[in-house]
């Protein structure tokens, strides 16, 4: 029985180490792609800002732009 417990303890230690390695690898993978994600985020921001700065052509566009700006201000005020 003591041998079985020792074997199980050894297995537990091995599995924990393997889990740590897998976790480390997934974190490294996420870190490797950080620049790509940041560039995509900034590109989306740039497109959004360009849309906000365009002059609306219709009343509907004017209303949509106003609502979007209102949401942005409310979000900033809440944070």
pLDDT at res. 36? 87
Span 43-67, mean pLDDT?
A: 91
In this predicted model, which residue has the larger pLDDT, 58 or 33? 58
Look up the pTM and report it. 0.46
For 7, the enclosing helix (H) or strand (E) is: helix 2-32
Q: What is the pLDDT of residues 2-31, one digit of tens each?
A: 788 787 788 888 888 888 877 777 777 777
Q: What is the largest CA-CA distance in the chain?
A: 81
Q: From CA 37, how far away is CA 43, in angstroms rounded?
A: 10
**Using CA atoms in the order 24, 29, 34, 37, what is the torsion angle rounded to 10 degrees?**
-130
Q: Residue 75 has which token pair?
A: 């979000």
Q: Structural domain boundaries of the chain?
A: 1-32, 36-79
């Amino acid at each position: 029985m003591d041998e079985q417990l020792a074997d199980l303890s050894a297995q537990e230690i091995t599995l924990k180490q393997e889990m740590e390695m897998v976790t480390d690898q997934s974190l490294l993978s996420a870190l490797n792609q950080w620049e790509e994600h940041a560039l995509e985020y900034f590109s989306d921001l740039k497109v959004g800002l360009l849309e906000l700065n365009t002059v609306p052509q219709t009343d509907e566009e004017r209303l949509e732009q106003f609502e979007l700006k209102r949401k942005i201000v409310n979000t900033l005020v809440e944070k």
